[in-house]
Amino acid sequence: MSYEKSGSTHKVLSIILRLGQICCAAIVLGILARFSYLLTIRQVHENSRLVYAMVVAGMSIIYSFLLCPPFRNLFMSFPCDFILFIMWLVAYCLLQTQSGTRTCSSAWYRDYWGYYWGSYWRVGRPGINVHRAGCSHWRTVLAFSFIAWFAYLLSGILGIYVFHKYIKVKETANEFKHQAKKHLGRDSQENDYGRPVNEPTGAGVSQPVTEVSQV
């Protein structure tokens, strides 16, 4: 079955997954960017794990936005989906292990995330009671980071399914070869700044000879 005659289920699923990926990445990037802004006010060094998560989120927004239309050739980018799946999985593991299983009661949360999110540097030194400041935002970052890597995993699996079921490898290769030959043939017919090969040049055209009779 050709891709043009295929159903619309996988196309709808692809759009839903792409929109979900954009939303997850935008939420994670927005919260972490807000926290980064608070750190710049205090002029504090930012955690490298948070920076990595922001980079992955920014790349994901651009990638998912460009590949949102369910065109046939875009399904062939499923290897990139698996790459982003691994990157998001690494980001989630780094963020989850940063606060550990205690999350909003961990020392890192109390002395870093909650302390600077609630601007408690105006009150005292790290270690004071931060009253769960920014706890919901940190949990949101962890939750949507988890959803993001799962969404990219599903996109990769969907891409493999569409590629093997509707996109024939031989047909795709033949199409690329046909397009390449078409462009090469068009280029070979022209030389000398667009002049056809069969067109005679000025040097090859015999000029008529006019004999002048002498009086």
Query: What is the domain partition of the chain in residue ranges?
Result: 10-175
Query: Is pLDDT larger for residue 172 or for residue 9?
Result: 9
pLDDT in tens, 74-128: 777 889 999 999 999 999 999 999 988 888 888 898 889 989 998 888 887 887 8
* Bridge partner residues of 196 (DSSP): 190
Exposed e or buried b per residue across 149-184, where buried means at least 16 C-beta atoms within 10 angstroms of its C-beta = bbbbbbbbebbeebbeebbeeeeeeeeeeeeeeeee
Q: What is the mean pLDDT of the chain?
A: 81
In the structure, what pLDDT confidence band is assigned to residue 197 with cuts at 50, 70 and 90? Answer: very low
Whether pLDDT at 70 is above 60: yes
In the structure, what pLDDT confidence band is assigned to residue 71 with cuts at 50, 70 and 90? Answer: confident
User: Which pLDDT score is estimated for 149?
Assistant: 95
For the record, the structure tokens of 215 come out as 């009086």
User: Which pLDDT score is estimated for 132?
Assistant: 84
Query: Is pLDDT larger for residue 181 or for residue 201?
Result: 181
Query: Is pLDDT larger for residue 9 or for residue 36?
Result: 36
For the record, the structure tokens of 33 come out as 């960017």
Give me the sign of the Cα torsion angle 96, 100, 102, 105: negative
Residues whose CB falls within 8 Å of the CB of residue 115, separated by 6 or more in sequence, listed in order = 121, 126, 128, 130, 133
- The pTM for the full model equals 0.73
Lowest mean per-residue pLDDT among 25-29, 113-117, 181-185, 186-190: 186-190
